[in-house]
Structure 1
Amino acid sequence: MAYEIPVTQARAELADLINRVVYGNERVVVTRHGKPLVALVSAADLARLEAEHEIAEDSVAGSVSEVRPLTSAPGEQGRFGIAARHREPGV
């Protein structure tokens, strides 16, 4: 759970907040009017979050194993009033 602090108070206590994040392994959420505005996390936390994000992006890209032509079921084009047909480039 992150420690929440209003932006006006965070300005006055920035050095202490940095120490809490770096040495206390805390996460600090700075709020404005009770809504989260920014978060202070350690550089190590940020590196871990970015690495997890890259892994997630790679797994999504890797899940598309092949691209194959898509064809309509017989009679579907007429049923939906589709007159155009897709042609591959150069055909």
Structure 2
Amino acid sequence: MAYEIPVTQARAELAELINRVVYGGERVVVTRHGKPLVALVSAADLQRLESDEVVAEEQIVRTVSSIGSMTSAPAERRRFGIAAEHSGHDDRRDD
């Protein structure tokens, strides 16, 4: 759980807050009117967060790339037994 502190108090105690984050391993959330505004985290935590973002982005790219290898719409039509196809200019029907 993060330690919360109002922005006005954080200004006065910035050096102490930095020490709490760096040496105490705490996370500090600075608030304004009771709402979270910013967070102070150690450089190690930031590096971990950024690394997690890269991993998540790579997973998204792999997922999107795999969609391209899925079956096409005509193959799905055959799979589900859909016989009629609209060709655009041809109004003929398969009866």
Q: Tell me the TM-score normalized by structure 1.
A: 0.75
Write out per-residue CA displacement over residues 6-62 of structure 1, whole angstroms, 9 at most, x where no aligned residue.
000000000000000000000000000000000000000000000001101100110
User: Where do residues 55-66 of structure 1 align in structure 2 (5 Å cutoff)?
Assistant: 55-64=55-64, 65-66=66-67
Cα deviation for residue 76 of structure 1 reads 8.2
Q: Which has the larger radius of gyration?
A: 2
Aligned length: 79
Counterpart secondary structure, 2:26 = coil
Instruction: Measure, in 2, the Cα distance between the counterparts of 1:8 and 1:44.
Output: 26
Larger proportion of helix: 2
Unaligned regions of 5+ residues in structure 1, if any? 78-82, 85-91
Instruction: Measure, in 2, the Cα distance between the counterparts of 1:70 and 1:13.
Output: 62
Percent identity of paired positions between Structure 1 and Structure 2: 66
- Structure 1 pair 34/70, CA: closer, same or farther in 2 (3 Å)? same
Give the equivalent residue in structure 2 for 1:35. 35
Unaligned regions of 5+ residues in structure 2, if any? 90-95
Instruction: Measure, in 2, the Cα distance between the counterparts of 1:34 and 1:76.
Output: 59
Counterpart secondary structure, 1:26 = coil
